[in-house]
Structure 1
Amino acid sequence: MNRPPIASLLPENLEHPRLYFKSEETDQIREMCLEGSHAEVFAEKRVQLDQQLDNPFPCPPPREQSYRNGIWEEYSRLSGEARTLVTDYALAYVVDQNPAYLEKTWEGVTSVMRWPSWVHPVHEFMLLDLDGSHTNVTLASVYDLLYHSLTENQRREIEFMVYARGLSHCIGGMKHHFWANRYDSNWCSVCVSNMGLVAMTMLDAKSMHLRTDLEPRSTMIAVIQECIERLNHFYDHIEDDGSWKEGPGYWNYGISTSMPFSDALKRLTSGKVNLFSHPKLRSTIEFPINCFLPPDRVVNFADCGKLFPGGMAYRKFAMEHDDTAASYFDMLTTDGKPSLALPELFWDASNVDRELSDPDHPSAYFPDAGWCIQRSSWSDPDSSILALKIGATVEPHGHADVGNYIIHTHGKTVIRELGIGRYADPGEWIFKDTDGHNLPLFNGKGQPRDVRLEGSVLETQFSKSYDFLKAEIGPAYGLDVLDSFTRSYLYIRPDIFVVFDRIQVNAATHLESRIHFAGNGIAHDGHIEIRNEQVSVAVKLLLPQEFDLVEDRHTGLKPGHADPESQEVNYLKLESDLSPGTFIVGVAFGIDTEPSANIECKGSDYLVTYKGQRFNL
């Protein structure tokens, strides 16, 4: 895309407020919050704020506490709560003009300014990180929103703090930050978008030059220009098929955090700079939508949490691109309620039809990321879904999980994986390693996490009666003993999944293949039933017939912030001592039925037979 010359497009002498709405729109904001579309949510918020007036602001724990116990969730939670509370009080003051809200806002600002650092303890070696950029934009938002209500000294304090802890690390260029050119990571989008908003706020900062001898407008213009260019590069790195290799959770974080910056640019330049028009933004919404697992879950490969990452990003997509599916997911995840978050006050997609139309085929394949979602139906809330990931062993927030899969049916992810571990926790390895995924280990070894190795998709077929994908997984292990490992995923609609492994080794090898599940395992003659409340999935080992699946368990797990449910996870395992040659493993999964499929060998081919249908694996 062409990079716009922002200096000539941002008007001189912009008034405050400017980031989220103009001064002349203040009365409209008050009307919305007191009597109009936002009245109900604002009344609820006012009650919460009044209850908090006499309480101290949330404050993150001492940094050494996080170092000592290796737990960072509390720091993130409290710092996030403090930031939200500060901007909530600022907006409440704009609406109600209650002096107590103004006083409480400044109390929150001074509390935040007293934090020893705005950088998260896990990232203490950095000058500016995700948390730091969020805190910078929080103070900049208060500065912008309450500019005419703050004293000159209060404005000076904020100006200097966002300079010292944010802008000083951006002026002159950002390339010294690791995240600046990590265009495949949410870090780039979050940090540059937040700091771009801060620079917009400080275009006419009156006091910053007293300390730094810089001319505010030209200096901030340079920062904004660089943020635009880097965010454009981030959008460029969305895969051609719309997918995002970090998964739908970090897709949501990176994309949604970029929207306030893009929105402000579009408004302040009267539409001349419109990053929402980037061609890849038009298609990328299909990726998280296709990862949806009804009623509220998501395909959670790598470091993605289990809950569907919905929210206001879908509303903005619906507004900008008249996207009916985005509008549908806006309603599904927000109930269409208006938002009191400052950037989102005017976001309204109620005039966009909320429709999730049935595509030509319910399944989706994203070859660039190597993700495939085999789905029975979009209209049935109890639909059955097998999601699989090929891809690579090393990606941002990636796991050693090339060839991994999960099965979701009747609203439950029954065949699962461990999910996300605690960042920076020594016990996190098992969540990221092959051990915690539905894959085999060879002599106890899985795929490496320190070397980028890839699988490759060999064949795909999608039809009304079945879906099929075949991939070569072996190179992702990087093991000399493993000559080849192909895995095939067959979905026979409506109720049978088959996972078929053809493994070739050149030396004696111990194999342990795992299938993790959520629920209770009940042994039957010929299969194991996984029972999760009222949901039943039958697991049948088709080949080798002389072996059995045995139940085992991970214990003492410390799950991550996005997955609090996993303290103990059960899995089925198949163990065998392999001789040099080819070893076949075929497993069938029946939804509410015993999978009466059979596998037979015809020369070098293996055929699955089910209800008169035959499929070549």
Structure 2
Amino acid sequence: MISDRYDFDFIRKNLSGGWKPFPPAADRKAWGGLLSHPVNRRRRKDIIKKADELLGKSWPVLSAAMYMEFARTGNRIIYEKPCFERRKNLSTLVLAECLEYKGRYMDEIANGLLAICEESTWVVPSHSHRNGQDPLPPYDSHNIDLFNSESGLLIAEVSYALEKEILALSPALHDRLRHELMGRIIVPFETHDDFWWMKGENNWGSWCALNVLGTALCVVEDKDRLARIIDRLNAVNDRFMSFYKEDGACPEGPMYWSVSAGALVSYLEMLSACTGGRINLFNEPKIREMVLFIAYSHVDGPWYANFGDSDSYLKSSRRPIIYKAGELMECDELKDFAMATYFSRKNGRPVKDASLADLSCCAHFSYYVRELFWMPADIRPKAISKRRTVWLPDLQLLVARESEAAGKGMVLTAIGGDNAMGHSHNDVGNFSVYADGEPVIIDAGIETYCRQTFSSKRYELWYTRGNAHNVPVINGIEQKHGAEFRAKNVKLEESDAAVTLQMNLEKAYPAEAGIESIVRQVSMSRTGKCSISVNDTVTMKTGKAAIDINMLSLPEPTLTRKGIVEFKSSPKKHHLEYDASMFNVKIKAFEIKDARMSASWGKKMYRLVFTLKKPAGSIEYSFRITNIEHSTSNFQGILNCQVLI
């Protein structure tokens, strides 16, 4: 798409020498203008307080033993945490200097810059190219990974922002930064065509391309050389976009939007800016849908329709990028959505959190500064209407709402697709339920990445397996991983009264399960008393099916009476109704010990296991979720629950 329209000659001809990603610190009119608003004055106070605490503080240590820990135990955090902390601390100090501009932080900034320059590699252990069992990478390895390239973007934009000040402090430091960027990012990119992310098959393609472009624009002065780099990067993003379907949905889930389609937005913005607006692809329908996915998948507040490795809880998801995309696409929906992420509800009222969000692992400064310059500080809460039904037919993701008003009523999400999408779990047919802006039935998401996460033993991790999702387990056999394990005959039906998603699930299971068919219907009734229903019809080829349905909930469930599970959700209580003559149910709380999963769900979640009392060759059963005032004791009379054979 990009390369077909804008070739090397076009790029070279139209590169603008006056490109600036944002005003440098020396532009005091621009930086001083930010402080005309009280929100930015509060931000300045907060950033300076944090920066002052870093003055004279030792920089986090990165040792060989810490690097080797991944090869030895699979632990990523031991090295990555202090590595990322270095970069965040540098970002805080640089932003404080840009805002205050008294030179107080320059020595500490120099300490941080040199500490990063002295690192043997910017590639994290889990991404490094090592020889055999050697736990350390070769000294002359020139791999470019996500965080090597993002470190490059950070150093490049810090060098740009403080170029005058760094040159005044030490020309040698200025030259060292340029040397490191050329040697670690620019030359390796120019001389390699075998970095796997160049295939563009997932978020690595758009993310690395953005980081390399941002670095090149700051340090490559020769126009021909820069045009060649851009031309090659355009081809990477063309391949990246080709892996997306026409509905624009991110197959890796909303959590990865910011480093996939969101990275593409930043890339295209840079591309447009450095060519004086002559390259502009923001009106392309497919790109528009790719960008809008983050709004489509939004449930309420910090919650998103998650699947696979994606977390449900996303605090801000790169709101300056979303807002800028809204401007470039002339899309108020995106701008309003970006502004709404500043607000959380307390006692029913929107409360503004104007602190700058941490939107990166390494390049925090790059996003801090864009939030300051790209988003208006005088943000006011708006009553945003949500689409009552979002259906993404290629991904097969449904988000259905009781009400268009944010934070009101129930929300149903469900996923079809296959068990081989990027960051996939064995979750074809899984559903989640939210009520009045809070999670009820959930998809657990993922724990902290480790070596096993992306290994041949990935699907031994509990949260990736079929029994961690609310799809049937048949005679102890779960869904399997692979593109052939998928939903079939997927169709959506919608009317004013209801929306229903139906799919066949039998192909998501291995042949030895002996399943003839599993037809799952998930539906929301919007007439008067809203309810969400899940109906399964299971037919075996031979023998009988012993069935377990596992559900995970965030609010505590209680068996209040036969056939009724009550969730102590807020502000309303909700019931899950089931046929007690067909199912036994066990409820077990389990502590969430992993830091990443706890960040989404807190310290505890609950597992409900519905076990069929009598195996059957053919059976139909249902579950229904409603708020407590709409529940009924005559559930079996409302929905079909019967043994057919």
Q: Partner amino acid for 1:331? A: M
Compared with structure 1, are the counterparts of its residues 97 and 385 closer, same or farther at alpha carbon in structure 2 (3 Å cutoff)?
Answer: closer
Distance 1:4 1:91 in 2: 35
1:222-241 mapped onto 2 (5 Å cutoff): 222-241=228-247
Compared with structure 1, are the counterparts of its residues 23 and 419 closer, same or farther at alpha carbon in structure 2 (3 Å cutoff)?
Answer: closer
Partner of 1:242: 248
Partner of 1:20: 21
2:418 partner SS? coil
Partner of 1:190: 207
Partner of 1:213: none
**Deviation sequence 1:300-352 (CA, Å, 0-9, x none):** 21111122344222211221122222222222113595967234443135899
The answer to whether the aligner puts 1:313 opposite 2:313 as a matched pair is no
Distance 1:13 1:485 in 2: 57
How far the C-alpha of 1:287 sits from its partner, in A, is 2.5
* Partner residue of 1:276 out of 269, 272, 282: 282
1:283-294 mapped onto 2 (5 Å cutoff): 283-294=289-300
Distance 2:47 2:34 in 1: 10
1:394-409 mapped onto 2 (5 Å cutoff): 394-409=420-435
Contact preservation (8 Å) 2:584, 2:612: no
**Deviation sequence 1:529-578 (CA, Å, 0-9, x none):** 12235542212223x83433232455676363674546654222233487
* Partner residue of 2:337 out of 312, 329, 350: 329
Partner of 2:436: 410
Contact preservation (8 Å) 1:406, 1:417: yes
Partner of 2:306: 300
Q: Partner amino acid for 1:139? A: I
Distance 1:50 1:25 in 2: 21
* Partner residue of 1:440 out of 462, 472, 487: 472
Partner of 1:497: 532
Partner of 1:468: 500
Contact preservation (8 Å) 1:196, 1:224: yes
Partner of 1:558: 594
Partner of 1:615: none
Contact preservation (8 Å) 1:60, 1:74: no
Contact preservation (8 Å) 2:487, 2:507: yes
For structure 1, which segment, 138-147 or 241-250, has the greater mean C-alpha deviation from structure 2 after superposition? 138-147
Partner of 1:549: 585
How far the C-alpha of 1:434 sits from its partner, in A, is 0.8
2:151 partner SS? helix
Partner of 2:547: 511
Contact preservation (8 Å) 2:298, 2:305: yes
Partner of 1:164: 183
Contact preservation (8 Å) 1:363, 1:376: no
Q: Partner amino acid for 1:222? A: R
The answer to whether the aligner puts 1:179 opposite 2:185 as a matched pair is no
Partner of 1:30: 31
Compared with structure 1, are the counterparts of its residues 203 and 192 closer, same or farther at alpha carbon in structure 2 (3 Å cutoff)?
Answer: same
1:241 partner SS? coil
**Deviation sequence 1:366-406 (CA, Å, 0-9, x none):** 11101001210121523201110001101111111000011
Contact preservation (8 Å) 1:318, 1:349: no
Compared with structure 1, are the counterparts of its residues 257 and 597 closer, same or farther at alpha carbon in structure 2 (3 Å cutoff)?
Answer: farther
How far the C-alpha of 1:48 sits from its partner, in A, is 2.0
State the TM-score, normalizing by the size of structure 2.
Answer: 0.82
2:584 partner SS? coil
Compared with structure 1, are the counterparts of its residues 590 and 515 closer, same or farther at alpha carbon in structure 2 (3 Å cutoff)?
Answer: same
Q: Which runs of 5+ in 1 are unaligned?
A: 205-215, 601-606, 611-617
Partner of 2:127: 123
Partner of 1:348: 375
Distance 2:503 2:599 in 1: 29
* Partner residue of 2:174 out of 134, 155, 159: 155
Contact preservation (8 Å) 1:3, 1:229: no
Q: Partner amino acid for 2:523? A: L
Partner of 1:538: 575
Partner of 1:488: 521
State the TM-score, normalizing by the size of structure 1.
Answer: 0.86
* Partner residue of 1:384 out of 410, 419, 433: 410
Contact preservation (8 Å) 1:473, 1:484: yes
The answer to whether the aligner puts 1:114 opposite 2:118 as a matched pair is yes
* Partner residue of 1:135 out of 143, 147, 151: 151
Q: Partner amino acid for 1:506? A: K
Compared with structure 1, are the counterparts of its residues 263 and 14 closer, same or farther at alpha carbon in structure 2 (3 Å cutoff)?
Answer: same
Q: Partner amino acid for 2:89? A: L
| Larger helix percent | 2
Compared with structure 1, are the counterparts of its residues 376 and 48 closer, same or farther at alpha carbon in structure 2 (3 Å cutoff)?
Answer: same
* Partner residue of 1:105 out of 99, 102, 109: 109
2:163 partner SS? coil
Paired residues, number: 588
Compared with structure 1, are the counterparts of its residues 537 and 300 closer, same or farther at alpha carbon in structure 2 (3 Å cutoff)?
Answer: same
Contact preservation (8 Å) 1:518, 1:569: yes
The answer to whether the aligner puts 1:83 opposite 2:87 as a matched pair is yes
Contact preservation (8 Å) 2:336, 2:384: no
For structure 1, which segment, 474-483 or 559-568, has the greater mean C-alpha deviation from structure 2 after superposition? 559-568
What percentage of residue pairs aligned between the two structures are identical?
18
Contact preservation (8 Å) 1:557, 1:566: no
Q: Partner amino acid for 2:396? A: G
**Deviation sequence 1:479-517 (CA, Å, 0-9, x none):** 341111110012122432111111111233432221221
Compared with structure 1, are the counterparts of its residues 15 and 83 closer, same or farther at alpha carbon in structure 2 (3 Å cutoff)?
Answer: farther
Contact preservation (8 Å) 2:433, 2:440: yes
**Deviation sequence 1:43-94 (CA, Å, 0-9, x none):** 3312321221111234456213445554434544433332233244334444
Q: Partner amino acid for 2:563? A: G
Contact preservation (8 Å) 1:522, 1:529: yes
How far the C-alpha of 1:194 sits from its partner, in A, is 0.3
Q: Partner amino acid for 2:195? A: H
How far the C-alpha of 1:464 sits from its partner, in A, is 2.2
For structure 1, which segment, 345-354 or 92-101, has the greater mean C-alpha deviation from structure 2 after superposition? 345-354
Contact preservation (8 Å) 1:469, 1:489: yes
Partner of 1:46: 48
Partner of 2:260: 254
How far the C-alpha of 1:432 sits from its partner, in A, is 0.9
Distance 1:24 1:162 in 2: 21
The answer to whether the aligner puts 1:72 opposite 2:76 as a matched pair is yes
More RCO (CA 8 Å, sep 6+): 2
